Amino acid sequence: MKFGVIIFPGSNCDHDMVYVLRDKLNQEVVELWHKDTDLQSVDAIMLPGGFSYGDYLRSGAIARYSPIMESVIEFANNGGFVFGVCNGFQVLCETGLLPGALLHNNDQKFICKNQHIIAEQKHSALTEYVPNGKILTIPIAHGEGRYYAPKDVLADMMQNHQIIFRYTNEDGDLSEDGNPNGSSMNIAGVCNLTGNVFGMMPHPERAADEDLGNTDGLMILHSIIHHLESKKA
Amino acid sequence: MKYPEVNIKTAKELGINEEEFELIQKYMGRMPNFTELSIYSVMWSEHASYKNSIKWLKTLPRDGGVLLTGAGEENAGLVDIGNNLACAFKIESHNHPCAVEPYQGAATGVGGINRDIFTMGARPIAQLNSLRFGAIDRDHTKWIAKGVVKGIGDYGNAFGVPVLGGEVFFDESYNSNPLVNAMSVGIMEKGKMVSAIAEGAGNPVFIVGSSTGKDGIHGATFASADITEDSANDIPSIQVGDPFQEKLLLEATLELIETGVVVGMQDMGAAGIICSTSEMSEKGNAGMRINLDKVPLRQKNMEAWEILLSESQERMLVVVEKGKEADAQKVFDKWDIHCVQIGEVIDEDKLYFHYKGEEIAQVPASTLVLGGGAPIYEREYTEPAYYAESKKFKIEDVPQPENLKEIVDFLITHPNLASKNWVSEQYDTMVRTNNMTTNMAADAGLVNIKNTNTALALTVDCNSRYVKADPKIGTMIAVTEAARNVACTGAKPVAITNCLNFGSPYNPEAFWQFVGAIEGMGEACRKFDTPVTGGNVSFYNQTTINGKTEPVFPTPTIGMLGILEDKSRKTGLSFKKKGDVIMLLGRSKNDINSSEYLYSYHKIKNTPPPFFDIDFELQLNKMLQLLAKVKLVESMHDISDGGLYLNLLESCLENELGFDITSDAEVREDAFLFGEAQGRAVVSVDMDAEQEFIDLMIKFNFPFSVLGHVTKGELRVDDISYGFVRDAKNKFMQALQNKMEA
């Protein structure tokens, strides 16, 4: 598959995403510069983590206005696969491609640690290869990761299978002690109504290298490749 | 604006003494003007010139082995790490700014040390930091600590380089003067280093990065004065950081170097434009003609000397090959940051500065810098009275306590010994996906060098209480502990960088500590063949307690680099499974000197350093490396602060296991569990490998003993239960947060 990784000024997980896709998963990868508009016929768009444009205003608030995002929005609206991780998720919420918003963590501190999550959907582009009920360990690293949406929106999302991942404690409970940032309903990742745009705060690309001792993220990335291949076939 | 008249009074106000004022006039052949005097003031400050320390620094082993540059020759030390790669690394202090403005002080400290690395062409891949704060129950300490941690986090997290390790220590000695030492480590292709040099008459000189403002003027001079109650008045001397600009500058700089048009480059840190222009010129036996009107400014009404001395962050000075200006411009246009030609290199030992149509300063570049004309002093030193007094301490002065469980509870929740996760979780420790210790706790940080078989081991260490007790031995211990931490991961120690935090060099007792520390460092580094690649000296660190001003604990922080040639040998500190045999390498000692136990629990504060034998330390270090190589151990963890009990507990946490051990009949139980005698490490061995392990020890005639075995979760010493790992873990993990957020 051909992946396009968007590079905003201030992206800092771009190299990590490229490394995993190219070196660990043998995929074709192109880097797409924020000032360009040509998506180079990619099969999927990946928005990496970081601090786009410094994120001094509000995470993702400036990036949504970059030239490349106009093309990404058009791509998504035509059914193209778009996946945002961390800052990429924030950008997708700012564009309106994904519902909800990401607010400051409830303790007002940046937090970076291994975090347990479980897949809420068995059948989605991100979770096909995640075993049922499996508690994944995927790192988080964010200051603004508290997922928020109004109650009626959350109810609709539940109804429409748009909640993809939720935070849990080590026993797999959707409890307060398993919620690192105060997200509504422990939400860690979501998708849009049509199931082609995804965002999550945890970083699957940080759990995808055997040298680092955790490959849980590969289940998510393999699911994506499988989804794209079957779509293309 | 009318400049002040230049005379000895003005000179003294700028921190220049009479002797130096005369020397300046001699170099110039005339009376300097105010701008020129300001230039000498910052360039001859302690911070920029090392005038009181250089004599001693030169006694350290500063080349050989795997070093690719000599100490102090470039912005950071450079080490050959195999695979056609070189590693640049350095540690630097930002103590004084953090004393008055913790958040910005710490943030710009992180920015500065990273620029030192990427100005050489290396991409930063890891950071570490060593932090020392006052007594934790003071609100002032919490304010400083929270600000410093947030400042390091906000800057480093946005910049995108993981924090791989560090230290946090609290003591009233640092009440008004925290120590904030930041280390950065980068890698680059060998032979591609960019030097901080200006050469080739006619080559254009560019300023790139942020525009220049009035922030940070006289920062170097501020860093070279005592911290006093009035230090808050110096807030305008503190720079403001912008990590987004730094990230753009990093990417643009590395891209510029790839174009091959760079002659030389240096970041702008202390003393701003004047420092970069003079140091680069001196190195190339050249000079520069600079037009300050061209410098992009962020403020109106700046005087020439303000532009010259400004320490605005995220800037670089670059000399480019003549005719290739457009190539450079193109890279910086892409990243939307300033790249402006401000002058050219000339074939003369002179710096000419022009502003608003006038030549406002003209100084010989070489007279400004260390190794050129900057003064060098020998300072007096005398042994303080406390030193002889400390030697009177005997372990028999302390009765053996009845209730050891109470002491365990005290120690595992002590902020100096408990988990530092409250701090480390505010740092991005995993960006760049190279941190091998996220899922395998180890004594040093391990960085994966992708697409090779190599990893780097990194650590920062200094127990400043030991250095206070005996500067020479304490500093030898700091080097040795760093080497032990590196070896416990399986890696070989190869080089160090140092951050020397001391009191005033004009205080003979503080200078005695400095001299002792350098002697100890030199001896230990020669022993371990870990040369000093460079670093930083921070004098004038002192604190006022009960109306008495004293130097902070002498704190020569050691940042060490180790190389693990074969990643499959990597070894962590955590016990792996129930039933594994727990072994002690080295010998238990009847020693509680300078331990956290003696200092904080018994409040006996003036005692000698713990037992230390450098010859044995080298043997132990080699044994640890060998054990990793032959893969005979499940875990390795050195015994340091808090003694054996803390060591064992730390090994239990990751996999939630316990231990059952028997103490040594020859040694007091409090010394056995909480003493900090050096030269010891604990390893765990699979039962099936036990005999092979013992055979190896006997073959090498290496001292060891069997302590006991790993349990499912209970913590037992001499058949007495100390509870279960989950409870102990909760206390250990929560203690610092409870104190900080109380």
Mean pLDDT score, A153-172: 97
> Of A12, A111, A112, which is closest to B247 when you measure between CB atoms?
A12
Band (pLDDT 50/70/90 cuts) for residue B244 is very high
Instruction: Give the minimum alpha-carbon distance from B493 to chain A in angstroms, rounded to a whole number.
Output: 21
- Residue A144 annotated as catalytic: no
Contacts with B26 (C-beta within 8 Å, 6 or more apart), sequence order: none
Residues counted in chain B: 742
> Could you tell me which residues are beta bridge partners of residue B352?
B289, B362
DSSP letters along B212-258, please? B-STTTTHHHHTTS---GGGGGGGGGS----HHHHHHHHHHHHHHHH
Whether chain A has a CB inside 8 Å of the CB on B426: the answer is yes
pLDDT at B159 over 60: yes
Backbone angles phi, psi at B567, to 5 degrees: -55, -30
How open is the CA angle B288-B289-B292, to the nearest 5 degrees?
120
Amino acid at B670: D
Choose, out of A112, A113, A115, the residue to mutate when testing the contact with B (most B CBs < 10 Å): A112
Whole-number pLDDT of residue B229? 57
Nearest chain B residue (CA) to A211: B436
Amino acid at B537: V
- Residue A86 annotated as catalytic: yes
pLDDT tens per residue, range B612-626: 999 999 999 999 999
pLDDT at A67 over 80: yes
pLDDT tens per residue, range B289-334: 999 999 999 988 898 988 998 999 999 999 999 999 999 999 999 9
Burial of B606 (0-12, 13-18, 19+ CB in 10 A): middle
Whether chain A has a CB inside 8 Å of the CB on B428: the answer is yes
Cβ within 8 Å, pair A19-B450:
yes
The DSSP letter of residue A178 is G
Chain A hits for B160, Cβ within 8 Å: 12-13, 50-51
Whether chain A has a CB inside 8 Å of the CB on B568: the answer is no
Nearest chain A residue (CA) to B454: A211
Chain centre distance of CA A224:
12
Cβ within 8 Å, pair A213-B439:
yes
Band (pLDDT 50/70/90 cuts) for residue B64 is confident
Mean pLDDT score, B446-469: 98
pLDDT tens per residue, range B27-54: 999 999 999 998 999 899 888 889 999 9
Cβ within 8 Å, pair A212-B429:
no
Whether chain A has a CB inside 8 Å of the CB on B544: the answer is no
> Of A55, A112, A205, which is closest to B427 when you measure between CB atoms?
A112
Whole-number pLDDT of residue B363? 95
pLDDT at A77 over 80: yes
Choose, out of B430, B436, B456, B576, the residue to mutate when testing the contact with A (most A CBs < 10 Å): B430
Cβ within 8 Å, pair B425-A113:
yes
Cβ within 8 Å, pair B336-A10:
no
Whether chain A has a CB inside 8 Å of the CB on B452: the answer is no
pLDDT tens per residue, range A7-63: 999 999 999 999 999 999 999 999 999 999 999 999 999 999 999 999 988 898 999
Cβ within 8 Å, pair A9-B248:
yes
Instruction: Return the closest-CA partner of residue A223 out of A137, A160, A131.
Output: A131
To the nearest whole number, what is the mean pLDDT of chain B? 94
Whole-number pLDDT of residue B221? 61
> Could you tell me which residues are beta bridge partners of residue B542?
B551
Cβ within 8 Å, pair B244-A23:
no
Cβ within 8 Å, pair B426-A111:
yes
Whether chain A has a CB inside 8 Å of the CB on B430: the answer is yes
Whether chain A has a CB inside 8 Å of the CB on B574: the answer is no
pLDDT tens per residue, range B624-641: 999 999 999 999 999 999
Every domain of chain A and the residues it spans: 2-232
Helices B508-528 + B471-488 axis angle, to 10: 40
Whole-number pLDDT of residue B72? 77
Mean pLDDT score, B146-166: 97
Instruction: Return the closest-CA partner of residue A10 out of A72, A61, A57, A63.
Output: A63
pLDDT tens per residue, range B207-242: 999 999 988 776 656 566 666 656 655 555 678 899
What is the CATH superfamily name and number for domain A2-232? Class I glutamine amidotransferase (GATase) domain (3.40.50.880)
Give percent of chain B with pLDDT exceeding 70: 97
Band (pLDDT 50/70/90 cuts) for residue B373 is confident
Q: Which CB contacts under 8 angstroms, 24+ apart, belong to A173-181?
A: A174/A118, A178/A116, A180/A105, A180/A111, A180/A113, A180/A115, A180/A140, A180/A145, A181/A105, A181/A106, A181/A107, A181/A111, A181/A140, A181/A142, A181/A145, A181/A146
Amino acid at B161: V
By a Cβ cutoff of 8 Å, what residues of chain A touch chain B? 9-10, 12-13, 15-16, 19-20, 23, 49-51, 53-56, 109-114, 139, 141, 143, 203, 205-206, 208-209, 211-214
Chain A, chain B: beta-carbon pairs less than 8 Å apart:
96
Domains annotated on chain B, with CATH: 195-374 (3.90.650.10), 387-741 (3.30.1330.10)
CA B329/CA B337 separation, integer angstroms: 10
Amino acid at B445: G
Chain centre distance of CA B256:
29
> Could you tell me which residues are beta bridge partners of residue B180?
B131
ipTM of predicted assembly, 2 dp? 0.97
pLDDT tens per residue, range B5-23: 899 999 998 889 999 999 9
